Chains A and B, each alone.
Chain A
């Protein structure tokens, strides 16, 4: 089983739609969680951190479910500019083991006019 798994998509949604992605992780000792955004042929950039209590930033909401070992990203009122690949990141570190920053393979979103 992969350490971090994402549905590759693509998710094709119309402008204004709400879309949600999940990311599952296998190690229950995972410590920190992030969502990154990567535009085509560009570098990844941090979108938001995912806290135990959830995190909201404008149209974006991230949540963590430790019991079921997944994180989610909800995008409301999708814009054309939201079209990108969304990467989830899970980290591990002492005392569970050595430091690891594990990227998922990404979920591709296309917002259609």
Chain B
């Protein structure tokens, strides 16, 4: 039982490049989330999904897109990376709505130069 996994663990991009971060969970959770964590800012919600085929915007969605084609996977895309997107990205999942415990993946450290 791996829980929540994320790939890649580290990535360096040049400004303007694109990439996709993959999140997978094996707990059969309905809800999945993408956060970014920056020093002094705490965790901020980018996008979330309440079930397969659904996505919704969080607090800081600009510059990111997401897809949830399968229940166990939640993808985060950066179409044209900017230095302001340098951050640590965490994926999380939960069984039910926002009032439930969230299980986090190990994170992806992204640097945009």
- Apart from the given pairs A93-B98, A93-B99, 16 other A-B contacts in the complex at a CB distance below 8 Å: A31-B99, A32-B98, A34-B101, A43-B90, A43-B106, A46-B101, A49-B101, A91-B98, A92-B98, A93-B97, A103-B42, A103-B44, A104-B42, A105-B40, A105-B42, A106-B42
Collect the chain A residues with CB atoms within 8 Å of residue B106's CB: 42-43
For the complex formed, measure the closest distance between the CB of A19 and the CB atoms of chain B, giving whole angstroms. 21
A49 CA to B106 CA, complexed, in Å: 21
Collect the chain B residues with CB atoms within 8 Å of residue A44's CB: 43, 90, 104
Collect the chain A residues with CB atoms within 8 Å of residue B40's CB: 8, 105
Contacts A104-B42, A105-B41: A43 and B98 contacting too (C-beta < 8 A)? no
Q: Is the interface of B mostly helix, strand, loop or mixed?
A: loop
Q: How large is the interface on B (under 10, 10 to 19, 20 to 34, 35 or more residues)?
A: 10 to 19
CB-based contact A87/B42 at 8 Å:
yes
15 A-B pairs with CB atoms under 8 Å apart are A8-B40, A32-B98, A32-B99, A43-B105, A46-B101, A87-B42, A91-B98, A92-B98, A99-B98, A101-B45, A103-B42, A103-B43, A105-B41, A105-B42, A106-B42
Contacts A93-B98, A99-B97, A101-B98: A87 and B107 contacting too (C-beta < 8 A)? no
Collect the chain A residues with CB atoms within 8 Å of residue B104's CB: 43-45
Render A68-112 as a binary contact track against B, CB cut-off 8 A, 1 for contact: 000000000000000000010001110000011101111000000
Q: Which of A49, A87, A99, A100 lies at the interface centre, i.e. has the most chain B CB atoms within 10 A of its CB? A: A99
- Nearest 3 A-B pairs (CB), nearest first? A43-B104, A99-B98, A105-B42
For the complex formed, measure the closest distance between the CB of B86 and the CB atoms of chain A, giving whole angstroms. 15
CB-based contact A43/B42 at 8 Å:
no
Q: Does B102 interact with chain A (Cβ within 8 Å)?
A: yes
Q: Which of B43, B44, B45 lies at the interface centre, i.e. has the most chain A CB atoms within 10 A of its CB? A: B43
A56 CA to B106 CA, complexed, in Å: 27
A25 CA to B33 CA, complexed, in Å: 22
